[in-house]
Amino acid sequence: MNLSRRKFLHTSAALSALPAAAAVGGLSLSGIARAADATTVQYGGSAWLGHYPAYLAMKSGALSAAGIDQQWQSFGTSSARMSAVLSGGIDIACTGIVSAQALMARGSKHFSIVAVPESFGRVEGLFVRDGVNSLQDLKGKKLGVTFASSAHLLVLDLLGSAGLSNDVTVLNVPAPEIPGAIQSGQIDAAAAWTPQFNRIRAMTGMRLLADDTQFSLYKKYNVTPGPDVLIVRNAWAEKNADVVRKYLKVYFDACQTLRDKPDEAARTLVGLTSMSALDQIETIKGAEWYSHAQQTQLLKSPGSYVDGLQRLAEMLVTYKQIDKAPAVRQWINTSYL
Give the model's pLDDT for residue 155: 98
Cα(270)–Cα(285) distance, integer angstroms = 14
Residues 99 and 166 in one domain: no
% residues pLDDT > 90 (the chain): 85
237-261 pLDDT per residue, tens: 999 999 999 999 999 999 999 999 9
CA nearest to 95, candidates 326, 241, 311, 309: 309
CATH of the domain at 191: 3.40.190.10
Give the model's pLDDT for residue 29: 40
% residues pLDDT > 70 (the chain): 89
Give the mean pLDDT of 208-231.
95
Residues 58 and 91 in one domain: yes
222-235 pLDDT per residue, tens: 999 999 999 999 99
Spatial neighbors of 321 by CB under 8 A, at least 6 apart, are: 98, 102, 148, 152, 153
Q: Considering 199, 221, 243, which residue would you say is the last residue of a domain?
A: 221
Is 17's pLDDT higher than 90? no
Residues 217 and 129 in one domain: yes
Helices (H) and strands (E) in the chain, counts: 17, 12
Give the model's pLDDT for residue 20: 37
Is 19's pLDDT higher than 80? no
Cα(237)–Cα(42) distance, integer angstroms = 12
Beta strands in 178-238 (DSSP E): 189-193, 206-211, 228-233
Looking at every residue in the chain, the average pLDDT score rounds to: 90
Give the model's pLDDT for residue 97: 93
Residue 60, judged by CB atoms within 10 A of its CB (0-12, 13-18, 19+), counts as middle
Domain membership flag for residue 192: yes
Give the model's pLDDT for residue 35: 55
Give the model's pLDDT for residue 78: 86
Confidence of residue 76 (pLDDT cuts 50, 70, 90): confident
Domain membership flag for residue 18: no
Residues 198 and 326 in one domain: no
Residues 91 and 239 in one domain: yes
Residues 129 and 215 in one domain: yes
Structural domain tally of the chain? 2
Residues 240 and 294 in one domain: yes
Neighbours of 87 (CB within 10 A): 10
Domain membership flag for residue 336: no
Residues 269 and 133 in one domain: no
Residues 216 and 245 in one domain: no
Alpha helices for 148-232 (secondary structure H): 150-161, 178-183, 196-201, 218-221
Q: What angle do CA 224, 229, 230 make, to 5 degrees?
A: 165
277-315 pLDDT per residue, tens: 999 999 999 999 999 999 999 999 999 999 999 999 999
167-195 pLDDT per residue, tens: 999 999 999 999 999 999 999 999 999 88
20-73 pLDDT per residue, tens: 333 334 444 444 444 568 999 999 999 999 999 999 999 999 999 999 999 999
Confidence of residue 79 (pLDDT cuts 50, 70, 90): confident
Q: Considering 221, 241, 256, which residue would you say is the last residue of a domain?
A: 221
Which domain range does residue 67 map to? 39-119+226-331
Q: Considering 162, 191, 221, which residue would you say is the last residue of a domain?
A: 221
